[in-house]
Amino acid sequence: MQPEYMRRQQAHARLRLLTDAQQLRNVAAACRRHRTSRKTYYKWKQRYDGSLESLLDQPRTPHSHPRQLSAQEHALVARVARKHKTAGLYRLHWLLKTYHDFTRSVGGLYKALKRLGFYGPAKRRRRRKYKRYERPFPGANIQIDAKYLPLLRCKQEYQFTAIDEYSRLRYAAIYEDLTPQNALHFLRDALDFFTRHHIRVQQVQTDQGTEFTYAMFPHVHQEHPFERELRSEHIHHKLTPVGQPHLQGKVERSHRIDDDEFYAQRFFRTSAARKRAFQGHLTYYNHQRPHGSLDWRPPIEHLQAWHNTQQECHL
């Protein structure tokens, strides 16, 4: 069964679907916006009684188990399994079926053996633990990355994102091409954005994509325009090793937030509409959305707290 917070998130999404359908007075338009079917809409509408609990997923465990193995069958399985310790699952099933008139399936036998303790829990793959770190002040390192956006009328667009590692303050923009010229244009706008928020950028970190550097092409002796702009601004450019996206973890995490909370929840007909809506989402991200890593404060509030602390230190 899903965790409780996921069940409640899904219930809130269903409530938004019902609310939008009522406001738009158009079920089909609401379903297109939420990327669901009208059959699903009417299912939850019929189930909705005015409370959020009515929109929660209910446990699918049956109330009764008429085909559950009896105590005698469990005892038979345990006795035969102890006698034939080296027999595999299918061989054990064949022995029971052939010599003891066992009529259950292989899956039923496996579950019985698991309940009896012959099979332990499945070993999960140990996830590699990465060392987490925080920057000491705003502007110490700005992570920049680009991501593919969902196709819109068979047209591909890209999102450039720059995020301050200390405050999580973020600037992003949507472009039609993934080119060095667009990366340069985005860099200039991002530096202006951070300057307006009194952040002095000291280092920019990117991967080794061709929109940011020619490091993967040693035969190219021309300086990349993105790196030339950083050099002219006296900003250090840090490249992450190939195949290690976790080093860009903060910008990658922000991209996942965009996917979950914006692109997967909205439907757009034109690129201009998506760009306008994305600017609203970005404003919400910076000024209203609480972040667990910032003690549940939005980035702009966390940044302002740092500025206030610096002013008090200079008094």
Together in a domain, 45 and 111: no
Query: What would the mean pLDDT of 81-86 be, rounded to a whole number?
Result: 85
- Say if residue 264 is in the same domain as residue 297: yes
Predicted local confidence at residue 64, as pLDDT:
79
Q: CA–CA separation, 160 vs 172, rounded Å?
A: 5
What mean pLDDT do residues 245-268 have?
89
What pLDDT is recorded for position 192? 96
Closest Cα to residue 282, out of 173, 186, 177, 148? 173
Q: Is the pLDDT of residue 127 over 80?
A: no
Domain count, the chain: 3
Q: pLDDT grade, residue 128 (50/70/90)?
A: confident
Report, as an integer, the average pLDDT of 12-33: 92
Look at residue 258 in the predicted model and tell me its pLDDT. 92
Using alpha carbons only, how large is the chain's radius of gyration in Å?
Answer: 28
Please give the model's pTM, rounded to 2 decimal places: 0.60
What is the per-residue pLDDT across 156-182, written as a single tens digit (0 to 9) for each?
999 999 999 999 999 999 999 999 999
* Mean pLDDT, range 278-306, rounded to an integer: 90
Whether 133 is covered by a domain: the verdict is no
88 or 284, which is more confident:
284
Distance between alpha carbon 20 and the CA centroid of its chain, in Å? 25
Confidence of residue 246 (pLDDT cuts 50, 70, 90): confident
- Can you say how many angstroms the Cα of residue 204 is from the centroid of all Cα atoms in its chain? 24
Range of the domain at 179: 142-314
Question: Is there a domain that residue 64 lies in?
Answer: no
Q: Which residues pair with 205 in a beta bridge?
A: 143, 238
Cα separations in angstroms, 165 against 137, 139, 157, 252, 291: 9, 8, 25, 12, 13
What beta strand segments (E) does 165-299 contain?
Answer: 170-175, 203-206, 236-239
Query: How much of the chain, in percent, has pLDDT values that exceed 70?
Result: 98
- For residues 187 and 299, membership in a common domain is answered with yes
Are residues 38 and 79 part of one domain? no
Query: Which 8-state DSSP code applies to residue 211?
Result: T
- Rounded distance, CA 18 to CA 260, Å? 19
Do residue 87 and residue 195 come from a single domain?
A: no
Once rounded to an integer, what is the mean pLDDT over residues 228-254? 91
pLDDT for res 1: 57
Mean of the pLDDT values across residues 94-116? Answer: 91
H-run or E-run covering 263: none
Judged against a pLDDT cut of 60, whether residue 75 lies above it is answered with yes
298 and 152 together in one domain: yes
Task: Tell me, yes or no, whether 228 and 290 share the same domain.
Answer: yes
